């Protein structure tokens, strides 16, 4: 019969940390700014093309439930929509003033 010199160890398990998977949020709550991007194609003198691309990519990420990717492209679409709107309004104001000056010169 075999004899064991060491008694079995019934101590605590090794230090293992279980981490819950990261929750990126609900992708359906992310704005894609698609309507604003479409309007900016006309108001922003075509400057809404880049925000439109970002909005479409954002919508694609939303459909695949990638909240982080959707949020990134949502922010890009928002920033470029703001820039296109400001640029478009300045462009329209400049065009109106330009034609008003031309009309006043020829009268």
Q: Reply yes or no on whether the pLDDT at 102 is more than 60.
A: yes
Residue 17 in any domain: the answer is: no
pLDDT tens sequence across 29-63: 999 999 999 999 999 888 999 999 999 999 999 99
Residue 4 in any domain: the answer is: no
Residue 36 in any domain: the answer is: yes
Residue 9 in any domain: the answer is: no
Helix (H) or strand (E) holding 34, with range, is helix 34-43
Query: Could you count the other beta carbons within 10 Å of the beta carbon of residue 78?
Result: 19
pTM: 0.72
pLDDT tens sequence across 15-34: 766 655 555 678 889 999 99
């Amino acid at each position: 019969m075999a004899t064991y010199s060491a008694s079995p160890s019934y101590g605590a398990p090794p230090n293992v940390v279980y981490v819950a998977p990261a929750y990126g949020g609900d992708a359906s709550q992310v704005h894609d700014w698609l309507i604003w991007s479409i309007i900016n194609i006309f108001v922003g003198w075509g400057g809404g093309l880049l925000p439109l691309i970002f909005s479409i990519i954002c919508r694609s990420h939303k459909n695949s439930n990638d909240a982080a990717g959707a949020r990134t492209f949502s922010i890009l679409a928002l920033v470029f929509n703001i820039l296109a709107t400001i640029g478009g309004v300045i462009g329209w104001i400049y065009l109106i003033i330009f034609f008003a000056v031309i009309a006043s010169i020829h009268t």
